[in-house]
Amino acid sequence: MSLKDHAKKGRERRIDSEIISFFVHNRSLYESASTHNAVFVGYDSTGKARAAHQKGTLTEKPYRGDVDGSEKDFFFNYHGGSERLYVFEAPIDMLSFITLNKREGWQKHSYLALGCTAPLALLRFLSEYLGIHQIVLCMDNDAAGIKADAIIQETLQRFSGGMYVEDLSEETREQLQRPYEVSILKSIKKDWNDDLKYG
């Protein structure tokens, strides 16, 4: 069964079929022929695939894992060109949020799944796309997500203030030092897919 068919069923994740099709045509999402897992691809700013993450589509056989050779600071993303970036923990939450907020022009903004709560992929994304100044943190509504909000917000405030940030090259620090407007948006339930399924 194809990803589009899964979306049409609407019984599991309830992600809009047009959103699925958009990312399939964008070459960011496909179905593994051998395992039928959904594969989420992370591209860099030149359009080169740098990472891929597999997520099981069958509820009786849940699976998730990075494809061999994936770079940890790249993950599932979309760059729309505006100053605004929405940040999520997982690709499913990113697609669920877009489905919940689907309206004319959603494609003009950028969206990034971190694959975790650490900001590594976010810092890499911001270092590539220097025009992004508005960050909307859409992490899970649980203890780990709330803690991540605080850490990421503090890190970006340090960059906004021109302060030193450890464990980064001088070039990366220079790319990241610019003003950021950071806001936090929480799902009502534990995550955005729960809001989509049970809202």
pLDDT at residue 1, as a whole number: 39
Domain ranges of the chain: 3-198
**What pLDDT was estimated at residue 198?**
87
Predicted confidence pLDDT, tens digits, the chain (199 residues): 354 444 443 346 789 999 999 999 989 887 866 666 788 988 889 999 888 887 765 555 555 666 666 678 889 999 999 999 999 999 999 999 999 999 888 999 999 999 899 999 999 999 999 999 999 999 999 999 999 999 999 999 999 988 888 888 889 999 999 999 999 999 999 999 999 998 7
Beta pairing, strands 64-66 & 77-78: unpaired
The answer to whether 21 and 4 have CB atoms below 8 angstroms apart is yes
What distance in Å separates the CA atoms of residue 162 and residue 157, rounded to the nearest whole number? Answer: 9
pLDDT at 114: 94
- Contact of 59 with 31, CB cutoff 8 Å: no
Separation between Cα atoms, residue 155 and residue 67, nearest integer Å: 29
pTM for the whole structure: 0.88
